[in-house]
């Protein structure tokens, strides 16, 4: 309430002083989540692109390989990684042979000609031989295993209930069935209400690695959310139950009537002929909308990110689909350690360029195809029509002109300053990066700006990746006037300016060129 009061009292002041900033934030502000928390009917446009095989327990997909924990003696590079893990696993992790977790997930690179197996063997013989070179030679260190390159601690994936500010959270409420070690993969972390779960399958087809998703489910949206989770796990791609961990949260003022135990949801079946529970949902009748609740986007983002089982996390919005094989290629780049930018002392995150494609087009599978689509006008840079300044990535023109190459590299090191001072990048990072401010809502926009400010003050390097990218679920956004949302946006901007910014200055300090 005090915020509203402040907002009103300072109306004139804000108009004159902040208008410029507001206008910019106003129009652009949010990313991926941008869209259709409101309308847009679900489309299953990418149920099964035939280029990737659907995992069904024996899949031979490139990025994700399953192997039972007892079969680590097979001769593939994946098996070597498993053996490596098993023998070198002397720390606190209790997953090994844990109850009901027969499958293990490994996201490794397919080595061309077995080079990697050699590298792994070698690095086990000389695990700490990094002292042979100095200074600039850092760049070409001895090969090492992924486990050594990603030093991390395992995290509990047990279901638990906890309070988080005004919210109750059911962490790991419906856990993924596969086990993964913290160094083995990258987790896509995201948030949604149940009407967005139709994105899971097309997302998984491309990602094929763990997803940690926080579902907002107040009041009677809770049973509907459970049905949507049951449907996703039982009626579509087996990747969902294998790789997706669902967390559920709701305001303590909107607790559902009943919360079944976690094991019940895991073992539940669903009558698939009833169809997906997110089809033909009357949005006006959803509990959240009937009660006029705001969507607590950053509570969801933080829950999903903090609960990710892996060291590397990819906080994204569920409608942003990554280019295929990203986890594998990313981890291989980390293991290689041959990118000079990786050895700079600054904290760093790995940025993906984002694009939109028109409704009739399938998202491109590779950069070559993407560039063709950009030239043909069937793809455009993300939010070009809403706010081209907000999501523009440094050197984007050069990025588009650079031909696709093998593997993944750092294309350019950007900063969130100059003409990128309001940049809202989407990036692979870790849980050491600043979190998102939980007072900001999706409706109020600017929900990633305060994190961006913190990253700037901390002097983060934004390492832009060359051959990987994100594509928004098909359909190009156009600007729609929404006066209620405009009002909330104005309130949010006042909150950021009057309350959050002064806090951030105390907590992170200031740096020339940084702004929210
Ligand atoms: C699943 O595996 C079975 C045999 O193990 C195979 O016949 C079937 O085609 C597979 N399904 C998919 C969708 O890959
Ligand atoms: C470390 O690597 C170098 C080659 O870079 C090799 O000559 C040397 O023998 C290795 N040292 C040990 C202790 O393995
Ligand atoms: C360290 O690097 C410098 C320049 O790159 C080189 O001249 C010097 O010999 C190196 N020292 C050792 C011990 O390798
Ligand atoms: C599943 O739903 C269909 C359609 O509503 C219904 O006809 C069928 O009897 C249901 N099956 C079971 C086992 O409940
Ligand atoms: C959804 O609604 C449309 C039109 O209102 C109808 O044609 C369609 O059958 C409905 N789909 C389901 C799954 O109920
Ligand atoms: C890129 O994708 C296109 C179309 O999906 C395909 O024809 C082409 O072979 C792919 N190129 C590479 C290098 O994978």
Ligand 3 geometric centre to CA of 131 (Å): 12
Distance CA 153, CA 93 (A): 8
Q: Give all strands (DSSP E) within 29-108, no chain letters.
A: 65-68, 103-106
Last residue of a domain, one of 123, 149, 175: 149
Q: What pLDDT score does 52 carry?
A: 34
Residue 133 lies in a domain: yes
Two structure tokens written together for 474: 């098909």
Atom 11 of ligand 1 has which residue's CA nearest to it? 56
DSSP H stretches of helix in 268-412: 287-290, 297-306, 326-336, 367-376, 384-391, 396-401
Ligand 5 geometric centre to CA of 474 (Å): 21
Divide the 516 residues of the chain into consecutive groups of 10 and give the mean pLDDT of each group.
53 52 45 36 34 33 35 30 34 39 57 42 44 46 82 94 98 97 97 97 97 98 98 97 98 98 95 96 95 96 98 97 97 94 96 94 96 95 73 90 96 92 93 97 91 96 97 84 91 95 96 92
Same domain, yes or no, for 235 and 266? Answer: yes
Ligand 4 geometric centre to CA of 257 (Å): 25
Same domain, yes or no, for 221 and 289? Answer: yes
Q: What pLDDT score does 235 carry?
A: 97
Distance CA 363, CA 381 (A): 13
Last residue of a domain, one of 284, 309, 337: 337
Phi-psi category of residue 61: left, alpha or beta, with phi > 0 → left and psi -120 to 50 → alpha = beta
Residue 6 lies in a domain: no
Q: What pLDDT score does 142 carry?
A: 62
Distance CA 96, CA 356 (A): 42
Residue 158 has φ and ψ, to the nearest 5°, of: -70, 140
Same domain, yes or no, for 186 and 97? Answer: no
Identify whether the C-beta of residue 489 lies closer than 8 Å to the C-beta of residue 447.
no
In the DSSP assignment, the letter for residue 348 is: E
Number of domains into which the chain is organized: 3
Q: What pLDDT score does 16 carry?
A: 56
Distance from chain centroid for Cα 419: 25
Ligand 6 geometric centre to CA of 365 (Å): 7
pTM: 0.74
Same domain, yes or no, for 332 and 342? Answer: no
Is 126's C-beta closer than 6 angstroms to any atom of ligand 2? yes
Identify whether the C-beta of residue 389 lies closer than 8 Å to the C-beta of residue 422.
yes
Domain containing 74: what range? 51-149
Atom 1 of ligand 3 has which residue's CA nearest to it? 134
Ligand 1 geometric centre to CA of 65 (Å): 15
User: Strands 167-174 and 244-251: what pairing?
Assistant: antiparallel
Atom 7 of ligand 5 has which residue's CA nearest to it? 280
Residues with CB under 6 A from ligand 3: 134-136
Distance CA 193, CA 253 (A): 18
Q: Give residue for tokens 């030239």.
A: 375
Ligand 5 geometric centre to CA of 276 (Å): 11
Mutational test site, ligand 3, from 129, 132, 135, 138, max ligand atoms within 8 Å of CB: 135
Q: Which is the closest atom of ligand 6 to the Cα of 364? A: 5
Q: Among all ligands shown, which has an atom nearest to the Cα of 137?
A: 3
Residue 468 has φ and ψ, to the nearest 5°, of: -110, 155
Distance from chain centroid for Cα 80: 28
Atom 3 of ligand 1 has which residue's CA nearest to it? 56
Which three-class secondary structure state does DSSP give residue 415? coil
Which three-class secondary structure state does DSSP give residue 149? helix
Residue 38 lies in a domain: no
Atom 1 of ligand 2 has which residue's CA nearest to it? 129
Atom 4 of ligand 1 has which residue's CA nearest to it? 58
Mutational test site, ligand 1, from 50, 56, 60, max ligand atoms within 8 Å of CB: 56
Q: What pLDDT score does 383 carry?
A: 77
Last residue of a domain, one of 287, 317, 337: 337
Q: What pLDDT score does 364 carry?
A: 97
Distance CA 139, CA 130 (A): 11
Atom 6 of ligand 6 has which residue's CA nearest to it? 369
Same domain, yes or no, for 138 and 168? Answer: no
Is 290's C-beta closer than 6 angstroms to any atom of ligand 1? no
């Amino acid at each position: 309430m005090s915020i509203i009061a402040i907002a009103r009292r300072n109306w004139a002041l804000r108009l004159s002083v902040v208008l410029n900033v507001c206008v910019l934030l106003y129009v652009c502000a949010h990313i991926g989540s941008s869209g259709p928390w409101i309308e847009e009917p679900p489309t299953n446009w990418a149920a099964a692109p035939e280029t990737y095989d659907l995992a069904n327990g024996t899949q031979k997909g490139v990025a994700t390989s399953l192997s039972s924990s007892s079969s680590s003696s097979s001769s593939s590079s994946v098996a070597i990684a498993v053996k490596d893990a098993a023998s070198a696993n002397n720390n606190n992790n209790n997953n090994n042979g844990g109850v009901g977790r027969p499958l293990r997930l490994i996201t490794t690179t397919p080595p061309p000609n077995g080079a990697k197996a050699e590298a792994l063997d070698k690095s086990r013989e000389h695990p700490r031989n990094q002292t042979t070179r100095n200074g600039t030679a850092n760049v070409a260190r001895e090969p090492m295993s992924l486990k050594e390159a990603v030093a991390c601690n395992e995290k509990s994936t047990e279901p638990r209930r906890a309070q988080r500010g005004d919210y109750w959270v059911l962490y790991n409420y419906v856990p993924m069935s596969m086990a993964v070690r913290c160094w083995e993969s990258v987790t896509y972390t995201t948030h949604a209400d149940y009407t967005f779960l139709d994105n899971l399958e097309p997302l998984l087809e491309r990602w094929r690695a763990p997803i940690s998703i926080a579902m907002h489910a107040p009041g009677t949206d809770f049973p509907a959310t459970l049905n949507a989770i049951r449907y996703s796990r039982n009626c579509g791609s087996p990747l969902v139950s294998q790789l997706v961990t669902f967390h559920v949260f709701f305001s303590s003022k909107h607790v559902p009537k009943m919360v079944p135990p976690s094991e019940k949801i895991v073992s539940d079946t669903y009558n698939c002929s009833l169809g997906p529970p997110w089809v033909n949902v009357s949005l006006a009748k959803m509990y959240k909308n009937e009660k006029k609740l705001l969507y607590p986007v950053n509570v969801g983002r933080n829950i999903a990110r903090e609960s990710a089982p892996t060291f590397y996390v990819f906080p994204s919005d569920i409608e942003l689909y990554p280019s295929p094989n990203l986890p594998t290629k990313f981890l291989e780049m980390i293991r290689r350690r041959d990118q000079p930018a990786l050895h700079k002392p600054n904290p760093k995150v790995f940025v993906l360029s984002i694009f939109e494609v028109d409704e009739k087009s399938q998202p491109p599978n590779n950069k070559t195809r993407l560039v063709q689509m950009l030239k043909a006008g069937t793809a455009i840079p993300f939010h070009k029509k809403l706010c081209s300044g907000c999501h523009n990535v440094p050197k984007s023109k050069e990025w588009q002109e650079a031909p696709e190459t093998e593997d993944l590299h750092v294309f350019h090191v950007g900063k969130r300053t100059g003409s990128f001072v309001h940049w809202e990048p989407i990036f692979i990072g870790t849980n050491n990066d600043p979190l998102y401010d939980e007072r900001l809502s999706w409706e109020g926009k600017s929900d990633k700006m305060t994190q961006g400010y913190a990253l700037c003050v901390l002097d983060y390097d934004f390492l832009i990746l060359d051959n990987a990218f994100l594509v928004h679920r098909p359909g190009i956004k156009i600007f729609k006037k929404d006066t209620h949302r405009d009002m909330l946006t104005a309130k949010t901007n006042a909150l950021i300016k009057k309350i959050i910014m002064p806090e951030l200055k105390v907590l992170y300090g200031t740096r020339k060129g940084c702004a929210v």
